[in-house]
Amino acid sequence: MILDYVSIFPEFFAPLQLSLPGKAVAKGLVTFGVHDLRGYTTDRHRTVDDSPYGGGAGMVMKPGPWGEAFDDLTGPGTTIVFTTPSGEPFDQRMAEELAGAEHLLFACGRYEGIDQRVLDHARERAVVREISLGDYVLNGGEVAALAITEAVVRLLPGFMGNAESLVEESHADGLLEYPVYTKPASWRGHEVPEVLLSGDHGRIAAWRRAQAEARTAERRPDLLARTGVVSGLGDLDVR
């Protein structure tokens, strides 16, 4: 998979060399390209924004440099991702969809947003997704693009050593993950639940499922409504 990023702050993408995304590069699964939007300007001041038609606060990103960037970077298999607080909320299902793309081109806006014609034009030449990280406003789309990248790249076939950890993690089955424990069995007066020491795989699986349902009911009842799971909260210890 090829991942490209267009931003006025290319330095934001230094973490792509590290940790998880860096490992994906080393394994030959992805290549990253980071592009300075100002490199696609033609004026002496390398201007990327201007005042909004119709008035109002703040500045709007001009269409010209974005058009040049897309001319340079868009090909037949490109999905252009605009990270914006007015996009569809990002979730695991969307990460899975994006993991099937050949080429993701992240367009990271700043200021009050990007001229709408950039999006309309992008839709004429590529698949376009407008994606929000959540119901809050960041200063720009760069952090959102990094978060989406991390969620997508770890799903690429051949990335995870242990495929089971993908199946069992939070959101894979529409539930939050059950609590996990490791040695020692007793720590500062807190004990590992007895069932996990029992060696009884059936009981352990049932306990984990009940914990996942209880945790989800407590913290994210909206997810339960979506998956149709009905949970007896009982006296489960949910934190």
Return residues touching ligand ADE (CB under 6 A).
Answer: 83-85, 132-134, 136-138, 140-141, 144
Q: State yes or no: 235 annotated in a binding site.
A: no
The residue whose Cβ lies closest to ligand ADE is 144
Q: Which is nearer to ligand ADE, 84 or 231 (CB)?
A: 84
Q: Where are the beta strands (DSSP E) in the chain?
A: 2-7, 31-36, 49-50, 60-61, 78-89, 103-108, 127-132, 186-187, 190-191
CB of 171 to ligand ADE, least distance (A): 18
Q: Which is nearer to ligand ADE, 53 or 136 (CB)?
A: 136
Q: State yes or no: 141 annotated in a binding site.
A: no
Q: State yes or no: 137 annotated in a binding site.
A: yes
Structure token pair of residue 125:
């030449």
CB of 83 to ligand ADE, least distance (A): 4
Q: Which is nearer to ligand ADE, 16 or 146 (CB)?
A: 146
> Tokens 């950890």 appear where?
165
β-strands 186-187, 190-191 pairing: antiparallel
Judge whether 175 and 212 are in contact, CB under 8 Å.
yes
Q: State yes or no: 136 annotated in a binding site.
A: yes
Judge whether 5 and 106 are in contact, CB under 8 Å.
yes
Q: Which is nearer to ligand ADE, 73 or 133 (CB)?
A: 133
The span from the CA of 106 to the CA of 148, in Å, is: 10
Instruction: Point out the annotated binding site.
Output: 109, 133-138
| Binding site listing for S-adenosyl-L-methionine | 109, 133-138
